[in-house]
Amino acid sequence: MTQRFPTFVRGLGVIAANCIPLVGVTAWGWDLWLLLVVYTAEAAFSVLIAATKALFAEQGSPGRPGQHEPLHELREKRGSFQLYSNLPPIYPRNIPFALTVLGVWFGFIGPISLVYLVTLGPAIQVSVGLAVSIAALLFSQIEEFVVEYIGTGEYRDVSAQELIRTPAQLTLVLLFVGLLTLGGSRAGRITLLTGLVIGKTLSSVYRFYVEHFGGSLLDVNIDLSDDLPRSEPPPEPKMPEEPVEASVVVDKKSVILGSLSAVGFALVSRFTLLTVAALVVALQIGHPVWIGLLSVVLLCIIGARMLSFYLRYGTIEYQRRGEFLVAYDRLLESPQWIATVGPGTDFSVINAIVDRLRDTGRLRITGVDSVDGGSVQFGPLSDLDEAINTLQLPVHQTERPERDPTIIAAAGGLLLFFLAVPAGLFLAPGIDSGTAYASLVVIGPFAVIHAGILLYVALSRI
């Protein structure tokens, strides 16, 4: 009982923070709009806390089939780094999950909530009571993060995938309150407001009980999402005991050039396409603020993809340790994957465009037990044959397909045809610029996809 007393006191703090809006309803004359402001601020801050928690989560996240998080290549990154001695290490493999929850809320839910409050709601008068209520709810989350999550080491037992689900509860409350505000005639009913605050308080207390005392008070187990696992053991492989016999490093310039393919895939994502479309509209209107803002967003997307790709492949040193081939990350000082050099491991040459342009090389290694799917990339290396000899790998064929001018000419001709269609929109005399920009937004994504395929075919046989 004495061990649970501090947690019990913190539970009382959660109740007190959630009950301050009740004082606002009964004594300060709050309506639904003020409750919506309070719960919007709490939901936004819970998203920031959940994203921060996710960075420190030690357990692995299995992910969801068919889903790709932002910067998803970092999902395969192993190891961690420490920013401050009093904080636990940060795992790069958790960054995609943190960006997921931030992107969903601040890229979609948050702006909609803000526009809803500004355009449909009455003028909000900032008062001491409103500030105290918001501050109390935010402080309770900070206290839980510092004392419970970091202080007691809860980060060791959770995964990032579990943590990003936490803000969903507050988002549902926010949606429910927002829908009620549409019925303006009910905004002043004290019974309704009191019921909302009490219901929100009970849900917060129930979540606190389940998280800190274990077990559910209800016998019914309801899962509205799916029954797939949300946590797995940490995926960091164990370094072999054998000493380093030989090592080679990747060609960093080829890695940076290869990141352009990751940028290309980023440009066909829904968020990036919307950003590009908005930028085209801003250029047509000639609004300098929106042009600058959207340009910065687009540059940040491109820069983030290039940086994540480089962190995935550009800091690797390949080591031969006895019968093992180890991909060792020199930045994080951690092995990324470990392959046994033997009959169960297959090596094949990858015909990468970057390697054809820079005369570098890389291999595909299959049958690797330390990674999901059992397939990893070896390289790019400035001299693939020399690396194979240095590491004594059982690879005897390193040639790529021969240069084919016929395929290059055919793909290049079709590429010019696809590019000529949008160019003709601006050169045709009977089409104004507004129509040209609008048509470009509609047909642009299809032209980019086909042009990208043709460009890949041409460059792969150059």
Residue 383 sits in the same domain as residue 409: no
Residue 218, domain member (yes or no): no
Predicted local confidence at residue 113, as pLDDT = 77
Question: Are residues 331 and 200 both part of a single domain?
Answer: no
- 399 found inside a domain: no
| Tens digit of each residue's pLDDT (9 = 90 or more) over 339-388 | 999 888 999 998 888 888 888 999 999 988 888 878 999 989 999 999 99
* Residue 15, in any domain of the structure: yes
Boundaries of domain holding 327: 246-391
| pLDDT reading at 204 higher than 80 | no
pLDDT digits (tens, 9 = 90+) for 441-455: 666 666 666 676 766
Mean pLDDT of 429-435: 66
Confidence of residue 3 (pLDDT cuts 50, 70, 90): very low
Residue 387 belongs to a domain: yes
pTM for the model stands at 0.78
Same domain membership, residue 379 and residue 257? yes
The residue from 159, 193, 213 where one domain ends is 213
Residue 235 included in any domain: no
Kindly report, residue by residue over 38-72, the tens digit of the pLDDT. Answer: 888 888 888 999 999 999 999 998 877 656 778 88
- Rank 50-64, 100-114, 277-291, 404-418 by mean pLDDT and report only the highest: 50-64
225 in a structural domain: no
Report the distance separating Cα 319 and Cα 309, nearest Å.
21
Same domain, 209 and 250: no
pLDDT for 401 beyond 80:
no
Share of the chain above pLDDT 70, in %: 74
- Confidence (pLDDT) at 2: 39
| Residue 237 belongs to some domain of the structure | no
Residue 178 and residue 302 in one domain: no
Residues 17 and 143 grouped into a single domain: yes
Look at residue 220 in the predicted model and tell me its pLDDT. Answer: 39
Q: Taking 70 as the threshold, does the pLDDT of residue 232 lie above it?
A: yes
Residues 416 and 364 in one domain: no
Here the contacts of 9-12 (C-beta below 8 Å, separation 24 or greater) are: 10/143, 10/144, 10/147, 10/148, 10/208, 10/212, 11/205, 11/208, 11/209, 11/212
Verify that 433 and 387 share a domain, yes or no: no
Residue 127 sits in the same domain as residue 190: yes
Span 253-299, pLDDT tens digits: 999 998 887 777 766 677 787 788 788 788 878 888 888 988 998 89
Among 391, 414, 437, give the residue marking a domain's end: 391
Residue 1: its pLDDT value, please? 40
Residue range 209-222: average pLDDT?
51
pLDDT at position 377, please?
Answer: 94
Enter the tokens of residue 14.
Answer: 């959660």
Asked if 291 and 422 sit in the same domain, the reply is no
Q: Of 159, 191, 213, which residue constitutes the final position of a domain? A: 213
Q: What is the pLDDT of residue 338?
A: 94
What confidence category does residue 223 fall into, taking pLDDT thresholds of 50, 70 and 90?
very low
Q: What is the pLDDT of residue 221?
A: 40
Average confidence score pLDDT of the chain: 80
Q: Which of 125-134, 135-144, 395-404 has the lowest mean pLDDT?
A: 395-404
Residue 169 is predicted with a pLDDT of: 66
Number of domains in the chain: 3
Q: Same domain, yes or no, for 204 and 85?
A: yes
Classify residue 153: in a domain, yes or no.
yes
Q: Are 377 and 415 in the same domain? A: no
Least confident of 175-189, 240-254, 285-299: 175-189
